[in-house]
């Protein structure tokens, strides 16, 4: 390690001493009342706007969406899209643009259903997080604690893999484990039962994206809540 030059060290110390000497305390500060907590002090971080929104700014932004959406269609060449804006818990804008498929005359509207891959991960994690907050389950709960029929190829992993492990894709299951069975027509229960037949990568030190690993964790949470997963999701969301 190279020695710090004495001259440079002296300059640093001198600057530090100078900066320290520049700090002054206003004697009037001692008589000032303590600051009061802000109106948002009791709110969760995600409920507090980082910057106050001026009156009318939301309306001004929404007024530009039609033009922005059309520019996006023209720039990308996609046939259609839908845009929705939720503000303060209310849908303040919902509109479709373009058509549902290239060469089609069927327009996209605010109620058009889109096939979006893996939306279930964020939605499902939200449901699980709510149940964790309610004390129904914990992220560190072993899956078999709530889903006794769950099993993987290695007994140790079966006993220790947690809800959080499966949502983090670190159970050791191979990439997209079980997806091919779904393509062949197997139902959810049949696929979950067959995960035990798949060889595992090292537990918690490898990452492989698995739809049915997440499904197993979600099923465990639903069973812990004493509800069907669809009903639980509807109630929570």
pLDDT in tens, 78-125: 999 999 999 888 999 999 999 999 999 999 999 999 887 788 899 999
Q: How far apart are CA 194 and CA 188, in angstroms?
A: 10
> What pLDDT, on a 0 to 100 scale, did the predictor assign at position 47?
65
Are 150 and 220 within 8 A, CB to CB? yes
Digit-by-digit pLDDT tens for the chain (237 residues) are 444 444 444 433 443 444 444 444 555 555 555 555 556 566 666 566 567 778 789 899 999 999 999 999 999 999 999 999 998 889 999 999 999 999 999 999 999 998 877 888 999 999 999 999 999 999 999 999 999 999 999 999 999 999 999 999 999 999 999 999 999 999 999 999 999 999 999 999 999 999 999 999 999 999 999 999 999 999 998
Helix (H) or strand (E) holding 2: none
CA atoms within a 13 Å half-sphere pointing along the CA-CB vector of 124: 23
pLDDT the model gives residue 39: 61
Residue-level pLDDT at 116 = 79
Domain spans, the chain: 57-98, 119-236
Q: Using CA atoms, how far apart are residues 200 and 137, in angstroms rounded to an integer?
A: 26
Q: Give residue 26's pLDDT.
A: 55
Query: CATH topology for 119-236?
Result: Beta-lactamase (3.40.710)
Can you give the pLDDT at residue 20?
40
Single out the residue of 165, 231, 232 nearest to residue 201, CA to CA. 165
Q: What is the pLDDT of residues 5-27, one digit of tens each?
A: 444 444 334 434 444 444 445 55
Report the largest interatomic distance among the alpha carbons of the chain, rounded to a whole angstrom. Answer: 79
**Residue 7 has what pLDDT?**
40
Q: Return the CA Rg of the chain.
A: 28
pTM for this model (two decimals): 0.61
């Amino acid at each position: 390690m190279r020695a710090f030059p004495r001259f440079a060290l002296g300059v640093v110390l001198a600057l530090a001493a100078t900066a320290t000497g520049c700090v002054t305390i206003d004697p009037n500060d001692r008589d000032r009342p303590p600051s009061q907590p802000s109106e948002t002090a009791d709110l969760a971080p995600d409920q507090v706007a980082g910057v106050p929104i001026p009156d009318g700014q939301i309306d001004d932004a929404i007024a530009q969406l039609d033009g922005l959406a059309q520019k996006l269609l023209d720039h990308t060449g996609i046939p259609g899209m839908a845009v929705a804006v939720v503000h303060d818990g209310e849908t303040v804008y919902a509109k479709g643009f373009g058509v549902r498929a290239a060469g089609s005359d069927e327009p996209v509207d605010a109620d058009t259903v889109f096939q979006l891959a893996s939306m279930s991960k964020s939605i499902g994690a939200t449901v699980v997080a709510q149940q964790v907050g309610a004390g129904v389950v914990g992220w560190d709960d072993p899956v078999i604690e709530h889903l006794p029929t769950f099993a993987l190829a290695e007994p140790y992993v079966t006993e220790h893999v947690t809800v959080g492990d499966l949502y983090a894709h670190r159970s050791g299951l191979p990439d997209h484990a079980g997806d091919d069975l779904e393509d062949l027509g197997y139902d959810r229960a049949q696929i979950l039962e067959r995960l035990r037949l798949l060889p595992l990568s090292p537990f918690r030190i490898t990452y492989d994206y698995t739809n049915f690993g997440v499904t197993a964790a979600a099923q465990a949470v639903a069973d812990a809540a004493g509800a069907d997963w669809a009903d639980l999701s509807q109630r929570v969301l």
